[in-house]
Amino acid sequence: MYRIAYVDGRYLPHARAKVSVEDRGYQFADGVYEVCEVKDGKLVDERRHLARLERSLRELRIAEPMSYAALGVVMRETVRRNRVTDGIVYLQVTRGAAPRDFQFPVAPTRPTVVVTARNSDIARLDKLAEDGVAVVTVPDIRWQRVDIKSVSLLPNVLAKQAAREQGAREAWLVDKNGFVTEGASSNAWIVNREGKLLTRALGTGILPGITRSVLLDLIADQGIKFEERAFTVEEAYAAREAFVTSASQTVMPVVRIDGRPVGNGAPGLVATGLRREYRRYAAIS
């Protein structure tokens, strides 16, 4: 399909949508991004995504390229021009283009803004959720500020590729103490032997997932037994259920970890229930 991207104030066909070779996103991965779900042509949890974007920019001292209201308008317009009904909108902000030098540019530099959008194959995602997906564990070799949603994703790229090569959809990253941090592009959850739902607590070790935060509201409302704490790979192998969360797939049941079946090897009741209920808690605007 003919696709349109927003690049620095203009909506362009993808073939003509380009940034400078000296863009610091390209040179140094000096930028941040957001992926927001689109449902019925509307943005899901826009406010929380823009709040996280604001924090990522502040942590890296990248200037705000425009008001958050204006960014919302650009995201919606990109969704509209690409005729996205159910899919994602991608927003990236880098420190901008400047002669290559490690330090921040001294001369005033405009951040580069790129927005793209595309439909997802919803039928395929629903089928995956019905069957459940496989994950493999790999060492977490990322930097120590993965709470910032930066475009520096090389370890995630390698982890996802390793997963694919082993027939899995996602990689779970494992810290040096044997605890799962999160997925390469998702947050990781289990229902343990005692029937308690677990996901790692926030901090600098994981990305504060928006889907994760919405799910926490749902869980509190439903009175599900829950604890925010790290779990080991061994605990995950022994879990009754496992699943991952992210804006592009909401709640996705996990049925195999490193080739071992989770529980009875089928999506669990908790994961399936949370996937079904999720929509009611997401803010759509």
| Positions marked active-site | 149
Site residues for ligand PMP, window 214-273 (CB under 6 A)? Answer: 245-247
Nearer to ligand PMP, 78 or 98 (CB): 78
DSSP string, the chain: ---EEEETTEEEEGGG----TTBHHHHH--EEEEEEEEETTEEBSHHHHHHHHHHHHHHHTPPP-S-HHHHHHHHHHHHHHTT-SSEEEEEEEES-B-SS-SSPPSS--PPEEEEEEEE--HHHHHHHHHH-EEEEEEE----S-TTS-BS--HHHHHHHHHHHHTT-SEEEEE-TTSBEEEESSSEEEEE-TTS-EEEPPPSTTS---HHHHHHHHHHHHHT--EEE---BHHHHHT-SEEEEEETTTEEEEEEEETTEESTTSS--HHHHHHHHHHHHHS-B-
Nearer to ligand PMP, 98 or 135 (CB): 135
Using the contact rule CB under 6 A, the part of the chain among 53-61, 63-71, 205-213, 255-263 near ligand PMP is 205-213
Using the contact rule CB under 6 A, the part of the chain among 61-69, 119-127, 183-191, 192-200 near ligand PMP is 183-191
Out of 187, 192, 199, 272, which residue is the one contacting ligand PMP (CB under 6 A)?
187
Binding of residue 209 to ligand PMP (CB under 6 A): yes
Nearer to ligand PMP, 182 or 241 (CB): 182
Task: Compute the distance between CA of residue 98 and CA of residue 105 in angstroms, rounded to an integer.
Answer: 6
Nearer to ligand PMP, 161 or 264 (CB): 161
- Nearest approach in angstroms of CB 160 to ligand PMP is 10
Binding of residue 186 to ligand PMP (CB under 6 A): yes
Binding of residue 56 to ligand PMP (CB under 6 A): no
Out of 76, 212, 256, 275, which residue is the one contacting ligand PMP (CB under 6 A)?
212
Using the contact rule CB under 6 A, the part of the chain among 162-170, 180-188, 195-203, 274-282 near ligand PMP is 180-188
Q: Which phi-psi region, left, alpha or beta, contains residue 96 (left: φ > 0; alpha: ψ -120 to 50)? A: left
Binding of residue 50 to ligand PMP (CB under 6 A): no
Out of 84, 207, 230, 255, which residue is the one contacting ligand PMP (CB under 6 A)?
207
Binding of residue 185 to ligand PMP (CB under 6 A): yes
Residues that bind ligand PMP (CB under 6 A): 35, 182, 185-187, 207, 209-212, 245-247
